[in-house]
Amino acid sequence: MADEAPKSAYELAMERLRKKDADAGVENTPLTDKQRAEIAEVRNFYEAKMAEREVLHHSTLRRTVEAEARTVIEQEYRRDRERFVSDRDSKIERIRRDTA
């Protein structure tokens, strides 16, 4: 035990989190290569969708002068981004739960 190097704050925090998960009954299962590939594909798809939406958003803003219309455009853009993030996260969670 005297030969062990002191643990970093990160290592100590990770140990506490693992213990907390174990106490809560959370099971840690590693992802398969297929799951990793599917998650990467979902992330790439939604990253592209958000980039496309951002380009359209900026294009629309450049053509709009009225403050009220710009506010509506901003709200729609934020709502679309939130929907994309929500959809992406739910699909990733579904992939993570899929053990087959």
Q: 39: which residues sit within 8 A by CB, 6+ positions away?
A: 31, 92, 95, 96
The answer to whether position 41 is within a domain reads: yes
Whether 98 has a pLDDT exceeding 70, the answer reads yes
**Which has the closest alpha carbon to 77: 93, 64, 90, 91?**
64
The answer to whether position 7 is within a domain reads: no
pLDDT digits (tens, 9 = 90+) for 45-95: 999 999 999 999 999 999 999 999 999 999 999 999 999 999 999 999 999
Domain that includes residue 91, residue range: 31-97
Q: How many domains does the chain have?
A: 1
The answer to whether position 15 is within a domain reads: no
The answer to whether position 43 is within a domain reads: yes
The answer to whether position 25 is within a domain reads: no
Phi–psi pair at 68, nearest 5 degrees: -65, -40
The answer to whether position 44 is within a domain reads: yes
Q: 35: which residues sit within 8 A by CB, 6+ positions away?
A: 95, 96, 98
